[in-house]
Amino acid sequence: MDKQKPILVAGHRGLAGGAIVRELAAAGYGRLLRPAREALDYRDREAVRRYFDVERPAAVVVAAAKVGGIRANNDFPVEFLLHNLQIQNNLIEAAADFGAEKLLFLGSSCIYPKHAEQPMREEALLGGPLEPTNEAYAVAKIAGIKLCQAYFRQYGRPFICAMPTNLYGPGDNFDLAGSHVLPALLRKVHEAKSAGARTVQVWGTGRPLREFLHVDDLASACRFLLENYCGMEIVNVGSGQEVSIRQLAELICEVVGFGGGLEFDSGAPDGTPRKLLDVSRLTGLGWHARIPLREGIAATYAWYRAAYDAGTARN
Ligand code: GFB
């Protein structure tokens, strides 16, 4: 990729997009396009086309999406399906029509069947029913993959797809109604410690297994793929390490320094029992995750405390 040409990072204010901007800027990419949300709504097809007509990005990163944790996904399937289809369709179509030389579409590990063989290989896609709590989001992401692959096959457009596992890191959403488990527990444990509470509530049984990837690792993988990969096959991006939700909660208590107990709310959904990606395609290409979970949680907690104190955390 040419470092002097314009690159659109759609979703630059989000967890993934923000980290991708930092990564590309640090690597010397000098023209990163970051239209403000108020100035350009990616759900508006005509507005997106006008923007592309003027700016002509040479590469596009589709990190803009309606995202959220298990509860938000379960409660708002219309927005998760409709808004994501609109955002990605408009960006992918405009990238093709206005001459982008490369596009990277970010999917999610929830595209794989609920009971996919673990660790989940890329070939598991469409091999069985999806997890119901995030089916709408998963269907939208699968449609995005298929659209990129269709442009690749029919028009030879190098539109590639990365499938990240559960992400976390600085800039995450700490709003308890919408957030993913890791920021939610960091906040709950921090608040329990500050309030001198005896316990922290954890949704579900604590038994589901999840893999977590620091968003700076994701950003590094995205740059690696943009620079080195040009295939139709989707590529999993993960750390290869999994923990149970109970183990995650215990680790967060250690990092925060909370000595109280955990209280499991088995009335809340567990979601997918296990979600571990097979990352051998990506490691085979030469990329590996670097940030250990404990270190990543400690850095995220430091960021959260600073943002919380400054009143700028998303909550
Ligand atoms: O991160 P999370 O919301 O999403 O939840 P998923 C992971 C697990 O943590 C579930 C449990 O078993 C939750 O029940 N959990 C425990 C909590 N306490 C909490 C809490 O306070 N907040 C939250 N949010 N969870 C998402 C999908 O699935 O994964 C998205 O809904 C996306 O579509 C994302 O794919 C990566 O890992 O279950």
Residue 91 lies in a domain: yes
Say how many Å lie between the CA of residue 15 and the centre of ligand 1. Answer: 16
CA-to-CA distance for 258 and 36, rounded, in angstroms? Answer: 39
Domain count, the chain: 1
**Positions marked catalytic:** 137
β-pairing, 242-244 vs 209-214, is antiparallel
- 91-131 tens-digit pLDDT: 999 999 999 999 999 999 999 999 999 999 999 999 999 99
pTM (predicted TM-score): 0.96
Give me the mean pLDDT over the 34-46 stretch: 96
Residue 269 lies in a domain: no
Q: Provide the mean pLDDT of the chain.
A: 96
Residue 83 lies in a domain: yes
Say how many Å lie between the CA of residue 257 and the centre of ligand 1. Answer: 23
Per the structure, the complete domain to which residue 44 belongs is given by 7-173+211-240+275-291
Residue 13 lies in a domain: yes
Give me the mean pLDDT over the 79-92 stretch: 98
- 210-258 tens-digit pLDDT: 999 999 999 999 999 999 999 999 999 999 999 999 999 999 999 999 9
Pocket lining: 40 vs ligand 1, CB cutoff 6 Å = no
Residue 222 lies in a domain: yes
User: In the chain, what is the straight-line distance between the N-terminal and C-terminal CA atoms, in Å?
Assistant: 37
Count of CB atoms situated within 10 Å of the CB of 169: 25
Pocket lining: 212 vs ligand 1, CB cutoff 6 Å = no
Residue 51 lies in a domain: yes
Residue 260 lies in a domain: no
- 290-309 tens-digit pLDDT: 999 999 999 999 999 998 77
Residue nearest to atom 25 of ligand 1 (CA): 181
Say how many Å lie between the CA of residue 109 and the centre of ligand 1. Answer: 12
Structure tokens at 230: 């040009």
Pocket lining: 84 vs ligand 1, CB cutoff 6 Å = no
Banded pLDDT at 310 (limits 50, 70, 90): confident
Say how many Å lie between the CA of residue 181 and the centre of ligand 1. Answer: 5
Pocket lining: 208 vs ligand 1, CB cutoff 6 Å = yes
- 182-198 tens-digit pLDDT: 999 999 999 999 999 99
Pocket lining: 107 vs ligand 1, CB cutoff 6 Å = no
What CATH number does the domain containing 80 carry? 3.40.50.720
Residue 200 lies in a domain: no
